[in-house]
Amino acid sequence: MWLSCWKKRVKSRYSHRAILTFPSYSFEEYVDIVSSFLKLSEDFSCKKFRDRWNRNLDENLSEGSVCCEILLKQYNLQKDFQSLIRLLTPVVYGISNKKPFISNTDFVEAYTSLHIDSKTALLNGLSTLELSLLVAAKHVFNRREGQPFNYEMVYNEYENFLKRRLSGMQNFNKAVAYKAYEHLISLELLKSTETLSINSTSKEFKAMTLLLEPSQIKEIVYRYPECPTELRQWADSMFVY
């Protein structure tokens, strides 16, 4: 009897708790999940439309497609179901009698809206130094054709910019600039590409990648109050490669 009562007490105490685990599925499984969310089932009333819809969806989710590239970006940033549903909701809401099928553009616009809105809010509070380091990181990222970079590369790019422009912008030393760089990492605008097991690399040489699109950086630079002209011109030159 006492054991039964004890079990009930334990069950009552912990029944409201949930164990949250980080998603461990592969990207291929992630795409399959998207497909299962969007595909029409066999019992859908109009077989002709169902077949056309599912065939169109398969084409859009095929390897190498624009939709697949968007999903890969989302997977690398946030692979949980809630984030995925936030991405897919405007895609589904865009369906109408005049536009009955999903397109690549729907995915691109949904992704851009989802991430520019959230990232722009973060970017609005950045300092001139932090913006300069973001532009420097993007230049390095472009030259390295998307390969990881480190703080040394970014700071050298920043220093060279100030020397070339001979501008009135303040030149911050490496230690001060690194504090700004760390803030960009804490905001998840930059992300380490190294595994947790790699801990011997000096922090200045840790491999990083950029989690912003050029258009996002350019937009906030142009909206930044009293942004130096030199910094705007440098941001513009990100597109010339």
Quick: pLDDT tens for 138-180.
Answer: 999 999 988 999 999 999 999 999 988 766 688 899 999 999 9
DSSP 61: T
DSSP 94: T
Sign of the alpha-carbon dihedral angle for 93, 94, 100, 102: negative
Note the pTM of the prediction, 2 decimals: 0.53
Domain definitions of the chain by residue range: 19-115, 121-194+201-237
| Closest to 137 measured CA to CA, from 77, 180, 98 | 180
CATH number belonging to domain 121-194+201-237 = 1.10.10.10
| Closest to 53 measured CA to CA, from 29, 72, 37 | 37
CA distance 176 to 183: 11
| Closest to 110 measured CA to CA, from 132, 90, 139, 83 | 90
pLDDT at 17 (0 to 100): 52
CA distance 39 to 28: 16
Per-residue pLDDT band for 85 (boundaries 50, 70, 90) equals very high
Quick: pLDDT tens for 216-228.
Answer: 788 788 888 888 8
